[in-house]
Amino acid sequence: MITTGQIIRCKAAVAWEAGKPLVMEEVEVAPPQKHEVRIKILFTSLCHTDVYFWEVKGQTPLFPRIFGHEAGGIVESVGEGVTDLQPGDHVLPIFTGECGDCRHCHSEESNMCDLLRINTERGGMIHDGESRFSINGKPIHHFLGTSTFSEYTVVHSGQVAKINPDAPLDKVCIVSCGLSTGLEATLNVAKGKKGQSVEIFGLGAVGLAAAEGARIAGASRIIGVDLNSKRFDQAKEFGVTEFVNPRDHDKPVQQGIAEMTDGGVDRSVECTGSVQAMIQAFECVHDGWGVAVLVGVPSKDDAFKTHPMNLLNERTLKGTFFGNYKPKTDIPGVVEKYMNKELELEKFITHTVPFSEINKAFDHMLKEESIRCIITMGA
């Protein structure tokens, strides 16, 4: 391409301050360096994680910054040492990575890559610590190594999944974070069986994806737990059969679930990050065979507390990161599930906005109006 090796000037939505509307700016995007790829982003979506760090809830402020980590695009150019990607490839940038060389990447049981594991505080690239974004010579910080709220971005090649070029990027871009996390928490980690009961704590995007996983697995009952009863009707589209709002009951959730299910559910998936919900999710599974999976990220000072007998009575507690998916290896397979009509994505997409109106996507999420809002670049 004519832009290979050259600085590209393009539009990006820059967060200059915490909680303030993003500002559309012209940025300079440097060429990719060793083991890096420059991608033309065609579609991106807003995830709650973007909002969380934009609001600066409990973490170190890092501004100015370009957020965004769920997206689909086309490789524009590659840096030194990149052999598995080439210009023209259709790709999904991923917030975590797979270097292929560390113990975690060699393990069939882990996706916690030593080199490219998620790092929310890193504002530059791994190769040299420098940003590839700038405005009038002033560096603009990266976010999660992806920064997809820019028409062009630079990503480490280990965080780029090459996908089927026939897959519609405006749909499959959402599998690069929340959807895959929830879906595979049920399918790949909880490993629910056909006919079993599954409880989902939190009916946001990740929780609905977990419910979708339970539906695909053939669960006989899918019980949704959420403090917002307005989410219940929407959750029916994802296979949820029963609903519990803890505010409507005067007894602990786990006690009520045990009464509803003759001793407890077979599987539970917690998607809120609330320690109280985590404890409830664990204690509501049936003794002898129940499995609880924790997906939500708690606050740094939280502590999980339960009686040891809950473990000795053969309940299993698991945690998961990104549904135990290896980004480069496994994400292309999720896209193929969609292409083979085994997975529905359209029902997760509730809104679409042009890139010039990206702040509307934030409004929709803050008002709890959207599951996923697709942002069309170049519009």
Helix (H) or strand (E) holding 25: strand 23-29
Rounded mean pLDDT of the chain?
A: 95
More confident: 60 or 234: 234
Does the active-site annotation cover 141?
no
Does some domain include residue 360?
yes
Options 28, 102, 316, 336, the catalytic residue: 102
Does residue 152 surpass a pLDDT of 70?
Answer: yes
Question: Are 93 and 130 found together in one domain?
Answer: yes
Options 36, 44, 105, 184, the catalytic residue: 105
Determine how β-strand 133-135 pairs with β-strand 8-14. Answer: unpaired
Question: Are 34 and 57 found together in one domain?
Answer: yes
> Residue 48's domain is classified under what CATH number?
3.90.180.10
> Token pair of 158, please?
């280990």
Question: Are 364 and 267 found together in one domain?
Answer: no
Does some domain include residue 3?
no
Smallest CA-to-CA distance from 328 within 128, 120, 31, 113 is with: 113
Average pLDDT over residues 248-270: 93
Helix, strand, coil abundance in the chain, percent, nearest 5 = 30, 25, 45
Average pLDDT over residues 143-164: 98
pLDDT of 125 reads 96
Q: With bands split at pLDDT 50, 70 and 90, how would you rate the model's confidence at 57?
A: confident
Integer angstrom CA distances of residue 77 from 37, 151, 164: 6, 14, 19
Question: Are 54 and 102 found together in one domain?
Answer: yes
Options 117, 120, 306, 316, the catalytic residue: 117
Question: Are 276 and 158 found together in one domain?
Answer: no
Options 3, 28, 48, 336, the catalytic residue: 48
Range from 27-41, 53-67, 109-123, 262-276 carrying the lowest mean pLDDT: 53-67
Q: At what angle do helices 275-283 and 253-260 cross, to 10 degrees?
A: 30
Integer angstrom CA distances of residue 357 from 203, 305, 362, 364: 26, 44, 10, 12
> Token pair of 359, please?
């702040």
Does some domain include residue 57?
yes
Does the active-site annotation cover 372?
yes
Options 104, 215, 221, 372, the catalytic residue: 372
Does the active-site annotation cover 186?
no
Please classify residue 136 by burial: count the beta carbons closer than 10 Å to its beta carbon, then call 0-12 exposed, 13-18 middle and 19+ buried. exposed
- State in Å, rounded, how far the first CA of the chain is from the last one: 23
DSSP string over 69-107 = -EEEEEEEEE-TT--S--TT-EEEE-SS---SSSHHHH-
Its pTM stands at 0.93
Does the active-site annotation cover 113?
yes
Does the active-site annotation cover 173?
no
Does some domain include residue 333?
no
Options 65, 69, 142, 267, the catalytic residue: 69
Please answer whether residues 252 and 231 qualify as being in contact, where contact means their C-beta atoms are separated by less than 8 angstroms.
no
Does some domain include residue 328?
no
Question: Are 13 and 145 found together in one domain?
Answer: yes
> Token pair of 349, please?
């997409």
Options 10, 173, 177, 373, the catalytic residue: 177
- The 8-class DSSP code of residue 300 comes to T
Does the active-site annotation cover 103?
no
Question: Are 166 and 187 found together in one domain?
Answer: no
Full residue range of the structural domain in which residue 292 is found: 179-321
Question: Are 313 and 244 found together in one domain?
Answer: yes
Does some domain include residue 334?
no
Question: Are 214 and 102 found together in one domain?
Answer: no
Options 10, 47, 271, 373, the catalytic residue: 47
Residue 351, SS3 per DSSP: strand
Question: Are 184 and 261 found together in one domain?
Answer: yes
Integer angstrom CA distances of residue 337 from 4, 183, 205, 305: 34, 12, 19, 38
pLDDT of 6 reads 94
Question: Are 46 and 117 found together in one domain?
Answer: yes
Integer angstrom CA distances of residue 359 from 35, 68, 152, 348, 365: 32, 12, 19, 19, 10
The Cα 347–Cα 373 span in angstroms is 11
pLDDT tens profile 217-242 = 999 999 999 999 989 999 999 999 99
Does the active-site annotation cover 102?
yes
Average pLDDT over residues 29-42: 98
Q: With bands split at pLDDT 50, 70 and 90, how would you rate the model's confidence at 60?
A: confident
Does the active-site annotation cover 364?
no
pLDDT tens profile 115-125 = 999 998 999 99
The Cα 186–Cα 222 span in angstroms is 11
Average pLDDT over residues 34-43: 98
> Residue 201's domain is classified under what CATH number?
3.40.50.720
Question: Are 208 and 136 found together in one domain?
Answer: no
Q: With bands split at pLDDT 50, 70 and 90, how would you rate the model's confidence at 173?
A: very high
> Token pair of 318, please?
């698991």
Does the active-site annotation cover 69?
yes
> Token pair of 84, please?
């598995």
Does some domain include residue 1?
no
The Cα 266–Cα 233 span in angstroms is 24
Average pLDDT over residues 68-72: 97
Options 70, 199, 212, 270, the catalytic residue: 70
Other CB atoms within a 10 A radius of the CB of residue 358 amount to 22
Q: How many domains does the chain have?
A: 2
Please report, rounded to a whole number, the percentage of residues in the chain having pLDDT higher than 90. 89
Does some domain include residue 2?
no
Does the active-site annotation cover 9?
no
Does residue 379 surpass a pLDDT of 70?
Answer: no
pLDDT of 378 reads 82
Options 10, 35, 38, 49, the catalytic residue: 49
| Exposure class string for 182-211: b at 16+ Cβ within 10 A, else e | bbbbbbbbbebeeebbbbbbbbbbbbbbbb
Does the active-site annotation cover 49?
yes
Does the active-site annotation cover 177?
yes
pLDDT tens profile 283-311 = 999 999 999 999 998 877 889 999 999 99
Residue type, 355: F
Q: With bands split at pLDDT 50, 70 and 90, how would you rate the model's confidence at 153?
A: very high
Smallest CA-to-CA distance from 96 within 212, 11, 180, 204 is with: 180
